[in-house]
Structure formats: structure tokens, C-alpha cells
């Protein structure tokens, strides 16, 4: 009877050892495959892109938000070529033909300073529209200067600091050095209609 009990004991001990070995093997295997999957998950979305949301275009990345921030004097062609969404907004905007006729007829030189943030959704919406308006009006008496600011609403040369502003985009209309009016963030009607109202 004692011998049988000893045999049972050794068999039970063997089963316990084998069970523990299997558990260890399974845990090691699971750990191995989980570490192999991490690089694959990280490379599944390798790049950054601009995505459209309700208010405009924002720069996003798989790991963290990245943005295209241009400061100082910006050329219109730079906006349409370097910022996704600008070319589309420019091309698709339907101008108000009646307001454009008024802008075409302007005889006295005017200057428009446009303060924008290339990181700003409102700017992504309004600036391409404004660029389309100016190109369609094609009036040499309308001179436009675009100034880009960072998230602190500053630029290295302090160009935007010459104008008291708090929100962007800000369209400042001037004539002979005097401010006639401005459009802030978004127009009351349309950009071209608001410009005509300022220039009355």
C-alpha cells in the first residue's frame, strides 16, 4: 500500500511540474509575439497628413499633432503649394460676381493686410477664398500683404505687432495709411461683400 502511495505521489509531482512548464512556455510565447507586434503597429500609420474636420484643416500625425507654421511675409503661391486644402479651397470657391464688379472698378489704391496662422482652421477656410477674390478682381489698385504668425500670434520681424489684433484671420483694409475697416475671423456676409461695404 505504501509503494502504491509513493507511485501516486511521484506521478502527481510529475504532472504538476509538466503543468508549470507548459504555463511557462505559453507565457513566454505570448510575450514573444506581443513584442514582435509592437513595431508592426507603430509602422501601420507611418506618416502625417492634413485631415478635414468641421472647421477646416488640421495637421495630424499617428503619434502626435504636427503643424505647418509659416511666419512673416508669405506669398500666396506658397500657401496653395505648401498647405494641403488651400488649393482646393481656392479653386472651389464661387465668388459673388456683383461684388467682384465693384472691386474691379476701384480707382484709388488700397492696401489689405491679411494676418493669418497657417495652423488656424478659420484661416484655412477663409484665406483661400480671399485669395480667389483678389485674383478674380485682378485690380492692380488692390495691394495685398499676407503675414503669418505662430500660435503666440507673433512673427520674427514683428510685422503683425504693428496692428492691434487678437483673432485671426484679420483682414485690415487701408487707404493712404489710414485704416478703413477690417474683417475678423469670418465675414458678416461674404468676404467680397464685406470688402465692398468697407470701401463704400
User: Could you list the pLDDT tens digit for every one of the 200 residues in the chain?
Assistant: 445 465 555 555 555 555 565 565 555 555 454 444 433 332 222 223 334 443 333 333 333 345 789 999 999 999 999 898 999 999 999 999 999 999 999 999 999 999 999 999 999 999 999 999 999 999 999 999 999 999 999 999 999 999 999 999 999 999 999 999 999 999 999 999 999 999 99
What domains are defined for the chain? 72-198 (3.40.30.10)
pTM: 0.68
Distance CA 26, CA 28 (A): 5
- Do 120 and 67 contact (CB within 8 A), yes or no? no
**d(C-alpha 170, C-alpha 73), whole Å:** 15
Q: Which residues of 87-104 are buried (b: 16+ CB within 10 A; e: fewer)?
A: bebbeebebbeebbebbe
Amino acid at each position: 500500500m505504501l509503494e502504491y502511495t509513493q507511485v501516486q505521489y511521484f506521478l502527481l509531482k510529475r504532472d504538476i511540474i509538466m503543468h508549470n512548464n507548459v504555463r511557462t512556455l505559453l507565457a513566454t510565447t505570448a510575450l514573444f509575439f506581443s513584442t514582435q507586434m509592437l513595431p508592426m503597429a507603430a509602422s501601420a500609420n507611418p506618416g502625417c497628413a492634413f485631415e478635414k474636420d468641421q472647421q477646416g484643416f488640421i495637421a495630424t500625425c499617428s503619434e502626435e499633432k504636427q503643424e505647418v507654421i509659416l511666419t512673416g511675409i508669405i506669398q500666396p503661391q506658397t500657401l496653395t503649394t505648401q498647405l494641403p486644402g488651400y488649393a482646393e479651397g481656392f479653386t472651389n470657391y464661387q465668388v459673388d460676381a456683383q461684388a467682384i464688379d465693384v472691386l474691379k472698378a476701384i480707382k484709388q489704391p488700397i492696401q489689405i493686410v491679411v494676418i493669418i496662422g497657417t495652423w488656424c482652421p478659420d484661416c484655412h477656410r477663409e484665406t483661400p477664398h480671399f485669395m480667389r477674390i483678389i485674383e478674380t478682381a485682378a485690380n492692380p489698385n488692390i495691394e495685398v500683404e499676407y503675414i503669418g504668425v505662430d500660435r503666440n500670434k507673433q512673427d520674427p520681424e514683428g510685422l503683425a505687432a504693428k496692428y492691434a489684433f487678437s483673432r485671426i484671420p484679420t483682414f485690415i483694409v487701408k487707404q493712404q495709411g489710414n485704416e478703413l475697416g477690417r474683417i475678423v475671423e469670418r465675414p458678416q456676409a461674404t468676404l467680397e461683400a464685406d470688402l465692398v461695404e468697407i470701401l463704400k
